[in-house]
Amino acid sequence: MAEDALLTRRTGLPGKDRPEGERSVVREAMIRFVLLGAVCLVVVGLLTVLLAGSVARSIATREAEVRTLSFATAVAGPTLDAATRRRADGPLVQALNNRLLDDSIVHAAVYDTDGRVVWSADPGAIGTTEELSAEVRQLLGRPGTVAEYSVETHAGSSGQDEELVVLEVYATAIGADGVPFVLEWYWPTSHLQANERHLMRLLMPLTLGSLVLFALMILPLTLSTARRVENDRARLTRHALNASKIERRRLSEDLHDGVVQDLSGIGYVLPMVGKDLPEDSVGHAVLAQIRTSLQRNISAIRGLIAEIRPIDMRGSGFRDAMDGLVSRMGEQGVETTVTLTGDLDVLGPTARSLVYRIAREGLRNVLRHSGAQHAWVEVRQQSSLVHVLVRDDGVGPSGERAARPSDDPEDTHFGLDLLREAVSDLDGELELRPGSGGGTELAVFFRHDRVLT
């Protein structure tokens, strides 16, 4: 480590390089599966309730129609003759009263074809005339039924009683005297509610139980599929990273063995050429400038080689890489302090590489734009988050922009844009802001448990 820099060691037990993102991604996939299953259970439950109500209503309506028509054809028809119509008495009336007494119906009436009330549970309505609906009139002369749910209104009612929703059933049949008639029954809805509860007891366990059983059956398949997809994605990522490392290593070797060696060779030749020139000649001055520029370019290329060459972040590689940043900053005249806190051993090589890239880009901007004498890098691990802060005592963001021409390509902060995209994929953020005590701060955080290794 350079003498003018301080590296504070991180705390924590020695860690292992492990796939941080795999467990998190699989766990989140399973959580989404469970939540989706719970939502499906609620939706299916609500649909089952609605379906049970609709089916119960349909069954109750059909049952009431069949029973009303059966009574009209089997009981009322054979006993309804001209005498019964005149006296409103006889076996038919007794049978109707019995039905009213056992609470199976709440009202009953018998009409002639012209709507005259032959008999009614309300004695005051007998002899009055009610208009029959068009549907009922169409059924006169043959057996049939018309049913509808409504508030209780019937011949003889005052309309002031407490409203009661009933099932009105009108059954048409032929009397013993060969004259058609209409039997009106009002069925209470209590039996509908009983049927609905019965259907609910039948349908809910069957429907929801089947769905839960299906979810339990596919749960292992879902888990294995999520793990397989995650493993495949991690494998592809590793292959891509390995390919990138190989290409970067090849490029750095080509630069070192090719361009750098050629430029170094030219640098050795230039002094020999300059010996034959007078020291006060223009040619000697030009050669000196060329040699200075050549040495500067060789140093820049060597720095580029050091940056693009893959760094092994396993074990002490991360610390060594940060030491290298501190040393290079010291060579450029910027005193740099790096502080690592938290259990950074939980970070895998890929997460450490991202931290290194953030620190390197931040310090590169310090050298290029800030004019700072001191720089600080703080790396802090907290739970699933990693915070990286790079700050300096330079001119600050506004001063940097003022010091550069408007067409400066560095004004695009291309390196920071790439980092911003990288951390945003890890539920992180990147912010370049003025420092609280002056200078510039580059603040970044991301979730290390989302990094694929």
What tokens does 398 get?
A: 């506004």
What tokens does 331 get?
A: 């060579």
Residue 163 confidence (pLDDT) above 70: no
For residue 71, give the nearest of 163, 143, 179 by alpha carbon: 143
What mean pLDDT is predicted for residues 302-322? 74
For residue 106, give the nearest of 197, 184, 10 by alpha carbon: 184
Least reliable range by pLDDT among 235-239, 341-345, 351-355: 235-239
What mean pLDDT is predicted for residues 358-376? 88
As a whole number of angstroms, the distance between CA 49 and CA 55 comes to: 10
Residue 181 confidence (pLDDT) above 70: yes
What mean pLDDT is predicted for residues 178-190? 89
What is residue 161's three-state secondary structure? coil
Residue 339 confidence (pLDDT) above 60: yes
Angle between helices 349-365 and 414-424 (to 10 degrees): 150
Please compute, for residue 263, the number of CA atoms within 13 A of its CA located in the half-sphere on the CB side. Answer: 19
For residue 157, give the nearest of 217, 210, 107 by alpha carbon: 107
Distance of CA 32 to the CA centre of its chain: 8
What is residue 103's three-state secondary structure? coil
Q: Contact at 8 Å (CB) between 127 and 85?
A: no
Instruction: Pinpoint the alpha helices (H) of 146-189.
Output: none
As a whole number of angstroms, the distance between CA 74 and CA 84 comes to: 16
Neighbouring CB atoms inside 10 A of 193's CB total 13
Q: What b/e sequence results for 298-316 when a residue is b if at least 16 CB atoms lie within 10 Å of its CB, and e otherwise?
A: beebeeebeeeeebebeee
In order of their start, the domains of the chain are: 1-17+314-453 (3.30.565.10), 20-234 (3.30.450.20)
Share the mean pLDDT of the chain. 79
pLDDT category of residue 35 using cuts at 50, 70 and 90: confident
As a whole number of angstroms, the distance between CA 256 and CA 264 comes to: 10
Helix (H) or strand (E) run with residue 26 in it = helix 20-71
Provide long-range contacts, Cβ within 8 A and 24+ apart, for 207-213.
207/44, 207/45, 207/48, 208/41, 208/44, 208/45, 208/48, 211/37, 211/40, 211/41, 211/44, 212/41
Of 16 and 232, the structure prediction assigns the larger pLDDT to: 232
Greatest mean pLDDT among 2-11, 97-106, 270-279, 399-408 lies in 97-106
Residue 403 confidence (pLDDT) above 50: no
Which one-letter amino acid corresponds to residue 133?
Answer: S
pLDDT in the model for residue 23: 55
Q: Contact at 8 Å (CB) between 346 and 381?
A: yes
pLDDT in the model for residue 153: 58
Residue 400 confidence (pLDDT) above 60: no
As a whole number of angstroms, the distance between CA 289 and CA 284 comes to: 9
CA distances from 445 to 104, 133, 138, 331, 353 (A): 73, 76, 79, 29, 14
The predicted-structure confidence for 151-160, as pLDDT tens digits, reads as follows 765 544 444 4
Global pTM reads: 0.45
What mean pLDDT is predicted for residues 190-197? 74
What mean pLDDT is predicted for residues 402-408? 40
